[in-house]
Amino acid sequence: MPQGLLIAVASGVLGAALTQCLVWIREALTSRRSRHYSALRLALMCEHYALDCASDVELRTDHHEEGNSILPRGMKLPPLPDFPTDIEFRSLPAALVEPVFSLAAEVRFSESSLSYISQHLDGEELVDEYLAVVAKRGIQAWELGKTIRKGAGLSEAVLNLGDWDFMAVMKQYSPD
């Protein structure tokens, strides 16, 4: 085989191999960015829900102390934010995603349970039970957000909420 042809073939193979390596590196970096973005969006969804729960507990506690009716019709908990549609759930480990999907089912179960016990409890007991359930789901959502951030190698959430200690609000009513 002529030496020129051998050099041309070797150059072509080397060029193709180098090009493929660059494609793999680009895909790995893109995949990693996508995974981090997906994890961040999912963590933010959980954290948003936790803040909604804390707000709900605080609002209903204030109304209750004023002697006003505070329980929502149908014993509905704060609605979960919509799942982000712009993320790739498959890019995340199932251990991080599964508890978030389970949270939606647990919120629905909590609403059904509260609706049922509202037929058997009234007054202070029912209010206390509602606040305890909302606080529990809010704390659960916050912990999920922390777990997702940690599992994806992201920094902890930094919130600028002034003096409001939303976790203290929920822990005040949480039975755990």
pLDDT digits (tens, 9 = 90+) for 98-118: 998 899 999 999 999 988 888
Asked if the model's pLDDT at residue 89 lies above 80, the reply is no
Compute the CA torsion angle 165, 68, 109, 146 (nearest 10 deg). -10
Quote the pLDDT of residue 33.
66
pLDDT at 52: 95
Please tell me the pTM assigned to this model.
Answer: 0.78
Of 98, 97, 110, 163, nearest to 138 by C-alpha is 110
Q: Which of 2, 25, 47, 23 is nearest to 154 (CA)?
A: 47
